[in-house]
């Protein structure tokens, strides 16, 4: 399943200025972070916990940053019909 990443990307810029700086703080290659954000994939285990901590995301808001389902183009077409 793919997830929306707009809110997460905005938080990264708000807290770190750009994705490169955040990737460094996270201990991740910038291209890996970019791919993870572009594909809207699941964040796993300790990397998810570290990102939540670094971005100072309240536990009550984690789902809206990391697990908000993206609407596929096909689903959008179904809604419009």
Confidence of residue 78 (pLDDT cuts 50, 70, 90): low
CATH-assigned architecture of domain 6-80: Orthogonal Bundle (1.10)
- The torsion angles phi and psi of 69, rounded to 5 degrees, stand at -60, 135
Do the Cβ atoms of 64 and 7 come closer than 8 Å?
Answer: yes
14: its two tokens:
């708000």
Vertex 75, ends 59 and 19: CA angle to 5°? 45
Task: Quote the pTM value.
Answer: 0.83
Q: What is the pLDDT of residues 12-46, one digit of tens each?
A: 999 999 999 999 999 999 999 999 998 887 888 99
Q: Which residues pair with 3 in a beta bridge?
A: 69
If residue 48 lies in a helix (H) or strand (E), which one and from where to where? helix 45-54
Strand, coil or helix: 3 = strand
Task: Delimit the domains of the chain by residue range.
Answer: 6-80
């Amino acid at each position: 399943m793919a997830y929306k990443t707009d809110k997460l990307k905005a938080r990264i810029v708000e807290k770190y200025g750009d994705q490169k700086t955040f990737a460094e703080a996270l201990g991740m290659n910038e291209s890996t972070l970019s791919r993870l954000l572009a594909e809207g994939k699941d964040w796993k285990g300790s990397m998810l916990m570290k990102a939540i901590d670094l971005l100072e995301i309240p536990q009550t808001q984690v789902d809206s940053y990391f697990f908000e389902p993206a609407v596929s183009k096909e689903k959008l077409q179904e809604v419009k019909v």
